[in-house]
A and B are shown apart, each in its own frame.
Chain A
Amino acid sequence: MSDLKEELKAKIIDQLNLEDVSVSDIADNDSLFGDGLSLDSIDALELIVMLDKDYGIRLSDPKEGRKIFESIQVMADYIEAHRTK
């Protein structure tokens, strides 16, 4: 599980081009949207593609994404439960 969390942090930094952020800067329970990393709706769409491409989880409604991407912990839990890859 902790491997997955580290993997997610690295992927987020890479996919969203967060140049000044390193893996150690992101705590498992930091909120990704809003106050924490300040990601926005475009980032949410990017992460939805990542879920599909890397973990085989396909979301049909973008609104579902906001709940899943609440924090690294929440994301990791969801992926563990639903991944097909």
Chain B
Amino acid sequence: MAITGMGIISAIGNNVAENYDALYHEKSGITRIDNIETIQRDAIMVGEIKFTDAQLVKKLNLPSSNNYSRTAMLGVIAAKEALFNAGITDLNTYSTGLVSATSVGGMDMTEKYYYQYLTEPETQKYIESHHGGDSTEKIAEQLGIKESFVTTISTACSSAANAILLGARLIQSGKLDRVLVGGTDCLSKFTINGFKTLMILSDTYNTPFDDNRKGLNLGEAAAFLVLESEAVIKAENKPVLAYIKGYGNANDAHHQTASSEFGDGATLAMQKALAVADLKPSDIDYINVHGTATANNDLSEGRAILRVFDTAVPPFSSTKAYTGHTLAAAGAIEAVYSILSLQNNVIFPNLNFKTPMKEFYLEPETKLVERELNIVMSNSFGFGGNCSTLIFSKEA
């Protein structure tokens, strides 16, 4: 499946070029939180996009009567860039769909106005923005996607990877000629406090795969890819950025929030993706791991990687030390980073790593590595045991 465009906004940049620049120059976007008032402020660090909601409204030229959640606004920004990047000016020439993903949805507004909804009419416009599909509908509206297949996936932290997976299958089956796929999630008190109750937030910079890791940093972001069929590529003579070669989704079926000890779901997802791609583990040049820096994920994922790759584990790194864990958007921003890796033959470092984990010998790349890359694997694992793997390739 050919990828012809991408767009992204995250804590390390407002578009693809800025994100690449930060990744290349090892500039992390982790800070204390500024846009949300929370008692947790000094106990957490986040990957925050330093625009206030008002600034985003202005950036998008939205009327004051708008009811866009922050999630929707971030999504629109990234989706617009992807479409532009793919050189698409007229959506009606081919059947185009939109598959987005979110876990926060409009909760950022709901938590602000929860009780006011009952008494203050001017806040009530946000009631309809709460549900998962709203940010997707807003993206469709802004992009002029009408009378089309538009839907939203929500499977916690694997959501956007699953949106990409569905998009690939829709093109493969001929149901669509072209599909915009990705995800968006903003920071919210709901997720900050929710993850706090699980005691998996770090109070400092997150250190994926490090023996002394203390937990994750939450982040916010949005990213989209444009996937187009072979027929469209040929007809339009389009440049292709990369290809989706393989994909796999599996369930850990172990516990609601914790991964199984030896990463059953993760193992299956990686194996499925390799099977779809018709590749061997030795064909993988680099893995952008889920690597959230929680005690549980990194151990489980590490073991799963060893099960799949045995003694020949490819170079790997987690880019969450740059952006934080962007929840539903993670699979999409990391897809963009995987494609950037392929295009530029660069492996981005796993920042902040000092000490390998005791349980096994796995050391991520700690410096930027310039080397020819042809196949990159990206992992995204979420609550509910939802595990997804995508494989990207330079050539078809």
A residues adjacent to B (C-beta < 8 A)? 40-42, 45, 48-49, 61-62
Contacts and interface: CB of A to CB of B under 8 A. Distances in A.
A41 B255 CA distance: 10
What size tier do the contact residues of chain B reach? under 10
A42 B256 CA distance: 9
Contacts of A40: 255
Sort A-B residue pairs by CB-CB distance and give the 5 closest, nearest first: A62-B199, A45-B197, A41-B258, A45-B199, A45-B198
B257 interface: yes
Interface in B175-229: 197-199
Contacts of B257: 42
Interface of B: 197-199, 255-258
A61 B199 CA distance: 8
B327 to A, nearest CB: 19
Contacts of A62: 199
Contacts, number: 12
Chief secondary structure at chain B's binding surface: loop
Nearest to A49: B197
A72 B212 CA distance: 32
A70 B188 CA distance: 35
12 contacts: A40-B255, A41-B255, A41-B258, A42-B256, A42-B257, A45-B197, A45-B198, A45-B199, A48-B199, A49-B197, A61-B199, A62-B199
A45 B194 CA distance: 12
Contacts of B198: 45
A23 B180 CA distance: 56
A49 B196 CA distance: 11
Contacts of B258: 41
Contacts of A61: 199
Contacts of B199: 45, 48, 61-62
Contacts of A49: 197
A55 B183 CA distance: 42
A61 B256 CA distance: 20
A64 to B, nearest CB: 10
Contacts of A45: 197-199
B351 to A, nearest CB: 24
Contacts of B197: 45, 49
Q: Give the interface centre of B199, B257, B258 by most chain A CB atoms within 10 Å.
A: B199
Nearest to A48: B199
A40 B258 CA distance: 11
Contacts of B256: 42
Contacts of B255: 40-41
